[in-house]
Amino acid sequence: MKGSTLAISLLLFLLFAFTKKERSSIWLIGDSTMAWKKPERDPESGWGEGLKQLVNEKATVRNHAASGRSSRSFVAEKRWAAVLDSIQPGDYVIMQFGHNDEKPEPKLYTDPSTSYKEFLKKFIDETRAKKGIPVVCSPIVRRHFDGQVNLVDTHGDYTKAAREVAMENNVHFVDLEAASRKVVAELGPEKSKSLFVFCAPGECRRSSKGVQDSTHLNHQGALQVAQLFAEEAKKQKIPLRKFLK
């Protein structure tokens, strides 16, 4: 009887270990446009949260993106070290920086032609060293119109640099700037507000005075950008697509 109990326990342990190993992780590193938000920020959200709704039972989305971070500060604050320590073979690391890299503060700023590319390459190389698979994304578009119907390019050379790093290192590149730009431009100045945090006074928890935020997504926008990522992953036949519904 004792031997049978031991055998059953061993079988259950092996079954659990096998199941755990088979479930891959999709690690997200980036800024506020990708990050999870505290309830008091509602309805603000990040597209990494939207992605959770599109992933099947074979993988878990682990959203480590953080508001206000650039590629530089993400490393300096040891946020990348925490992710890197947990990456397992076959896991994916999706990176999207740029919104805060262009800010002039020394702790945030990176030059798109040098340090920005160097930090992205660091993420790529160290992910691969852990036998993970990196995916580079350009930053999503800001809803900044020129007073008419044209979107202003606020990311400049950062989008170009992200693409170049991906090409130079043979990494899959998802151009979320172009994809989100197309959607926002087609909706136009008024209808595109439905994807961002626009609230009249008293309408949202983030501020009783109302909010007009053309950078941060609401829940609908977060899901739509996540769908753009999923569509591009399938179109490019990125192996990650096996985890998408």
Structure tokens given for 203: 């309408």
Per the domain annotation, does 95 fall within a domain? yes
| Residue 198 pLDDT level (bands cut at 50, 70, 90) | very high
At 147 the pLDDT is 83
Q: Give tens-digit pLDDT for 136-190.
A: 999 999 999 998 888 999 999 999 999 999 999 999 999 999 999 999 999 999 9
Q: Is residue 197 part of a domain?
A: yes
DSSP codes of every residue in 170-215: T-EEE-HHHHHHHHHHHHHHHHGGGGEEEE-TTSBTTBTT-EEEEE
What's the chain's average pLDDT?
93
CATH number at residue 201: 3.40.50.1110
| Count of the separate structural domains present in the chain | 1
Phi, psi of 30 (to 5 degrees): 170, -155
Please check whether residue 193 lies inside any domain of the structure: yes
6 has pLDDT over 90:
no
Average pLDDT over residues 105-113: 98
Residue 192 placed within a domain: yes
The answer to whether residue 9 sits within a structural domain is: no
Tell me: pLDDT of 66 over 70.
yes
Could you list the residue range(s) of the whole structural domain that residue 119 is in? Answer: 25-243
pLDDT value of residue 18: 46
High-pLDDT (> 70) share of the chain, %: 91
Question: What pLDDT, on the 0 to 100 scale, is given for residue 69?
Answer: 98
Question: Is residue 2 one of the residues assigned to a domain?
Answer: no
Q: Is 18 part of a structural domain of the chain?
A: no
Task: Look at residue 8 and tell me if it is in a domain.
Answer: no
